[in-house]
Amino acid sequence: MKSITDTLEQRISQAIGKVTGQKGCPALVSVSKNPKFGDYQVNGVMAAAKKMKTNPRQLAEQIVEELDLDDICQPPEIAGPGFINLRLKDEFVAGRLLEINSDKDRLGIEKVKMPKTVVVDYSGPNIAKQMHVGHLRSTIIGDCISRMVEFEGHIVVRQNHIGDWGTQFGMLIALLKEQYPDILENPGSVEIADLEGFYQEAKAKSDNNEAFTQTARDEVVKLHNHDKDTITIWQHIVDESRKHYLPIYQQLSVTLNTKDERGESFYADKLADVVEQLKAKKLAVESDGAMCVFPGDFKNKDGEPLPFIIQKSDGAFLYATTDLAAMRFRIDELKADKIIYVTDARQSLHFQMLFETAKMAGWTNDDINLMHVTFGTMLGTDGKPFKTRTGGTVKLKDLLEEAVQRATAAVEEKNPDLPAEQKKQIAKAIGIGAVKYADYSNNRNSDFIFSFDKMLAMEGNTAPYMQYAYARIKSIERKAEDNGVNTQNKLTGIKQLAFTEEAEKELAKMLIRYDQAIAVAAEECRPNYLTSYLYDLAQSFSRFYNACPVLKASSDQRAVRLLLCDLTARTIKHGLTELLGIEVVEQM
């Protein structure tokens, strides 16, 4: 089922083409901001008129004469200097609802006809360090993008670019060998309960003990030479780190697992070849002893060409080298048509230079889309970067635990009689959902203020509000069942619809726009477009429910209204659980 906007744009474009004699004329169709002017507005006429040097209103009149929209819309109306307003026919809206109702899994949304392979690089925790709040946005925004693009029908390859290689592993391995001399006999018996403490201890010892520092350097050499014992302990550190971050992914309902990991270690033996290829293409040149590429017109603050360093003077490789190797792998081996990198905005310059270097090297072309999805910083209520009361970095595990604790207190207060296990389930869904939804509902490019009070509020565009909207509808359906109405059988058997109230039509029109909301959110990698739609849908349902009695309506109208309830619940549930990874609950 093609989206309404796509159908309208296709037909209007054809009409513009007939009038102007030009092919491929774009027709920009958008949802009307004011319903009194119709449901959709055509905005491409004035641009076409300017190009033809003709009167836009007269051109609009000619286009309307050629339009074939009788099966979808009422007669088009021309407004202002050349806007064309369109209002959907009730029977068309009703037909769309029935199509959506018949499709339990996809709500009538077609998959793309030509799927692409899309690699999404997100999360990227560092081994032997706790995940902190700085990892939250990349992890959940990347996960939402992956879910949306996958739902569209594309092949999504998730890539968790974990920091599992480098000089810091020398000190970690040296400390483990020192503290546990028998570790090689049974690595599994050594548990690193406090990753952060372990890392800090190794760092302090490396900074203050020259003998230990030399031992750590020796371990780095052994690691790069794939010494068997050193690699065994390195693998143990990686495995222990997974015990800390995999449960967080599970708690966040993030669709990452070990098969998605492609650590820096994976590319270690590919880095030298990256440098040699760039040298062979005469792109990498020596500058102050380091090997550098000077891509594009990037300049430093003094106006001098800005180097993209790929190998230091001591022979060590850098993040840039690893990222270039990763890009080559994703294009050559994973066959990526599109690569999406989800990181904070501070890395914008790095990725601009990375993309330009790859283009200069001929590793990418116009058929491969490289996209850097940026996001702002999480701030505290004081407007400063989010920190603990003592000024330290907030561990993600602690943040999520506090969210659930606060939600538990709210559930206890509002519904103390619920069974303990149910209260626990509801608190987890609300607490974790609140944290995720608060992030999603903000423009990702903006910094956003983290406030438990705001994100756990039952009013406004929050997860608890959306979860309550869903639970409220399920409550209506339970009451219908209690009154002897078998809602599922009743709804499955509906063959035609008739609307009697404007609030019914308004809600129905919101429901049939879900596909477009997903398409735009996925295309621009902006979860807030999806949350905005879901919030608007919930508000539209609230107006409908206040204006249109459901259970007390006549038999035929009750069926229509129960269908509107059911489709609203299914859409909210799909958007929250399938695309945003947020649990819903049947009762709050």
What sign does the dihedral 16-17-18-19 (CA atoms) show? positive
Q: Indicate whether 205 belongs to any domain.
A: yes
* Contact yes or no for 160/153 (Cβ under 8 A): no
Supply the range of the domain harboring residue 203. Answer: 168-262
Q: Indicate whether 366 belongs to any domain.
A: no
Q: Indicate whether 268 belongs to any domain.
A: no
Q: Strands 369-375 and 155-159: what pairing? A: unpaired
Q: Determine the longest span between alpha carbons in the chain, in angstroms.
A: 87
CA angle 511, 517, 521 (to 5 degrees): 160
Instruction: Compute the average pLDDT of residues 348-364.
Output: 97
Provide the 10 A C-beta neighbour count for residue 441: 22
Return the C-alpha torsion angle 370, 524, 141, 455, nearest 10.
Answer: 160
Q: How many structural domains is the chain composed of? A: 2
Q: Which of 67, 88, 109 is the last residue of a domain?
A: 88
Helices (H) and strands (E) in the chain, counts: 21, 13
Nearest in space to 160 (alpha carbons), one of 61, 265, 64: 265
Q: Strands 308-311 and 290-293: what pairing? A: antiparallel
Q: How far apart are the C-alpha atoms of 306 and 297, rounded to whole Å?
A: 8
Q: Which amino acid is at 199?
A: Y
> CA of 195: how far to CAs of 42, 191, 228, 236, 252, in Å?
57, 10, 23, 13, 20
On the question of pLDDT at 436 being above 90, the answer is yes
Instruction: Compute the average pLDDT of residues 429-451.
Output: 96
Q: Indicate whether 96 belongs to any domain.
A: no
Which pLDDT tens digit goes with each residue over 149-176?
999 999 999 999 999 998 899 999 999 9
3-state secondary structure (DSSP) of residue 430: helix
Q: Indicate whether 255 belongs to any domain.
A: yes
Q: Which of 47, 69, 88 is the last residue of a domain?
A: 88
Q: Give 334's Cβ-side CA count (13 Å radius).
A: 25
Q: Indicate whether 191 belongs to any domain.
A: yes
pTM of the model: 0.94
- Structural tokens at position 106: 């996809």
On the question of pLDDT at 250 being above 70, the answer is yes
Return the C-alpha torsion angle 497, 499, 505, 511, nearest 10.
Answer: -20
Phi, psi of 217 (to 5 degrees): -65, -40
Q: Indicate whether 277 belongs to any domain.
A: no
Q: How far is CA 233 from the centre of its chain?
A: 35
Q: How far apart are the C-alpha atoms of 508 and 568, rounded to whole Å?
A: 9
pLDDT more than 70, % of the chain:
98
Nearest in space to 410 (alpha carbons), one of 460, 450, 457, 451: 457
Domain CATH for 27 = 3.30.1360.70
Quote the pLDDT of residue 410.
93
Q: Average pLDDT of the chain?
A: 93
Which pLDDT tens digit goes with each residue over 197-225?
888 999 999 999 999 999 999 999 999 99
* Contact yes or no for 264/324 (Cβ under 8 A): no
Q: Which of 215, 245, 262 is the last residue of a domain?
A: 262
For the chain, give the number of residues. Answer: 588
Give the 3-state secondary structure percentages of the chain, helix then strand then coil, rounded to 5: 55, 10, 35
Which pLDDT tens digit goes with each residue over 515-524?
999 999 999 9
Which pLDDT tens digit goes with each residue over 8-25?
999 988 888 888 887 767
Which pLDDT tens digit goes with each residue over 252-276?
999 999 999 999 999 999 999 999 9
Which pLDDT tens digit goes with each residue over 74-110?
999 998 888 899 999 999 999 999 999 988 889 999 9
Q: Indicate whether 194 belongs to any domain.
A: yes
Name 165's Cβ contacts closer than 8 Å, sequence gap at least 6: 223, 263, 264, 265, 268
Judged by average pLDDT, the poorest of 342-356, 380-394, 417-431 is 380-394
Provide the 10 A C-beta neighbour count for residue 57: 17
